[in-house]
Amino acid sequence: MRNLIAAILTFTSGAALAQEATPAPEAAPATEAAPATPNTDERVTNTEGKVASIEEQLAEIKSILSPLTKLKFSGYVQARYQWEESREDGTGGYSRFLVRRGRLKATYTGDLVQYMLQIDAVPTGVTVRDAEATLFIPGTKQNMSVTLGQMKWPFGYESVQSSSDREFPERTRVVRAFLPDERDRGVKYAGKFGFFRLGVGLFDGNGMSYPGSVGVDNDKEKDFVGRAGFDLKWISGGVSGWYGHTMGRGAGETYRHAHERSRVGADLQVYLDFLPIGATAIKGEYIKGKTYVSNGAELLDRQASGWYALLVQNIGLTNAVAVRYDYFDAATGIPATAAAPGSDRPAGTNAIGTIGATAIHYFGENLKLSVTYEHPMTATVAGVKDPRDNLLTAQLQARY
């Protein structure tokens, strides 16, 4: 009986627990109302709003980027290996690596204005090469301009040609003598009238690295420099002139006096494309003048002259060869002589003619390798030897 009562209690309590554990069913959530579908006019209105917003954003971005599209950066590096013969007397001669040029140029060009700054950063220091502020004369479509600052002299062809475009590592002797560093501070007018080109300016006249007056003029004398030329694409050329004075103390002078500094020149370039291997270019230039720079010193009243002829032949699209002869008479009218009585060395005034050849290979648009060999020939007299000063230059140029 006791067992029966226990079984009944166990059964009833289990049933009660089962009833407590069973959860009550939750009420079904209320059904949300479906969003109303926009009609065609509403969709068009929304789309127009989004388009207007995008247009405003694009206009803002364009306003921000517009000045940047007018600003351009460019530059190049010329790294070299050079070897030169040692002369009989033990002077000269070297084997060296060097960075000849490391240019960085920024140019901003607007409708009426152009700004240009170029520096040259090499292991020996950093120098400002160009610092120009240009005004394009209104109504001339940028064909006429006035520039103030430090810029290239408007004289001849080779002096204004970029070093990155030149076939040979350095400019010719006559150009280096009459136009050292190719630049000066002054004001220049430039104009294009069809195929006619005109560039004239007023400059300090001392160039960039005149001893004792780097970056400034050392006197009140100013030099007038100009070139009138033409450009018919396949042939171009011009005539140049320079007239001015420089203050200096000549031989036998107690005080400084104004000495004439002048040059005249003519240049011609011809571009032909009749050979099946590639285009051909022939270039030449002649300069004659008084007072020039040699070894960092200005030689007052010294008459000199020189010229060069250059032949460039492209071979396909990636190779070229060039041959150049340049001649410089450092003292026109003075015959060749020895450096000193009894010496076998030529005087510094003796004329020098240099024959050179170069081979060029382009690794695309931005990299160029050139190997150049030059053989200078100094005028001699009896008992005077032509110095051994042949020069080999291997140059790798990268530009952007």
Q: Which amino acid is present at 37?
A: T
How much is the average pLDDT of 386-399? 95
- Residue 31 is predicted with a pLDDT of 55
For residues 197 and 194, what is the distance between their CA atoms, to the nearest angstrom? 8
| β-bridge pairing 71-84 and 391-399 | antiparallel
Per DSSP, what are the bridge partners of residue 231?
236
Please spell the DSSP secondary structure of 1-56, one letter per residue: -HHHHHHHHHHHHHHHHHHHHSPPPPPPPPPPPPPPPP-HHHHHHHHHHHHHHHHH
Specify whether the CB–CB gap between 187 and 147 falls below 8 A: yes
Residue 22, pLDDT above cutoff 70: no
The pair of structure tokens assigned to 318 is 């990636």
- Cβ-Cβ contacts under 8 Å for 27 (sequence gap 6 or more): none
| β-bridge pairing 223-231 and 235-248 | antiparallel
Please spell the DSSP secondary structure of 56-77, one letter per residue: HHHHHHHHHHHHHHTEEEEEEE
Helix runs in the chain, H state only: 2-21, 40-69, 173-178
For the chain, state the CA radius of gyration. Answer: 39
| β-bridge pairing 319-329 and 297-315 | antiparallel
For residues 243 and 200, what is the distance between their CA atoms, to the nearest angstrom? 12
Per DSSP, what are the bridge partners of residue 369?
361, 396
Query: To the nearest 10°, the Cα dihedral for 138, 143, 148, 153?
Result: -170
**Which of helix, strand or coil describes residue 232?**
coil
Q: Which pLDDT tens digit goes with each residue over 296-339? A: 788 999 999 999 999 999 999 999 999 999 999 999 989 899 98
Per DSSP, what are the bridge partners of residue 357?
323, 373
Q: Which pLDDT tens digit goes with each residue over 168-215? A: 999 999 999 999 999 999 999 999 999 999 999 999 998 888 766 777
Q: Which pLDDT tens digit goes with each residue over 334-369? A: 989 998 888 888 998 999 999 999 999 999 989 999
- Residue 294 is predicted with a pLDDT of 87
Residue 389: Cβ within 10 Å count: 19
